[in-house]
Amino acid sequence: MQNLVDGIASLIRIPGDALREAVVAVPLWAAKGIFLLYPLILLIWIYSMRESEVKGTLPGTDKVIDLRLYAAAALVMQIIIYAVF
């Protein structure tokens, strides 16, 4: 049984080493840029959505709420935290 486990581990080690080398080759500034770009793209997408998709009434009341403001605030805070740390 141990030989089977060692054989599977040897097979998995080949693509694992290749993937690790590919990830290590990415410069840190590029990785951070991609990491910050993702929430920014989400923010643009949220503001490009139709109003009918982001507005609704609160349960139990007739108050209409727009969720874009709350999503934008969360994404901006996320971008700030990622940029600082």
pLDDT tens digit string along 42-76?
999 999 999 888 898 888 888 888 899 999 999 99
Per-residue pLDDT at 85 = 84
CB within 8 A of 76, min separation 6: which ones? 43
Per-residue pLDDT at 59 = 85
State how far the alpha carbon of 60 is from the alpha carbons of 15, 25, 64, in Å: 54, 54, 11
Quote the tokens at residue 28.
């840190």
Per-residue pLDDT at 27 = 95
* Alpha-carbon gap, residue 65 to 48, rounded angstroms: 17
pTM: 0.68
Provide the residue ranges of all domains of the chain, joining segments of one domain with +.
2-84
Per-residue pLDDT at 61 = 86
In contact, 76 and 43? CB cutoff 8 Å = yes
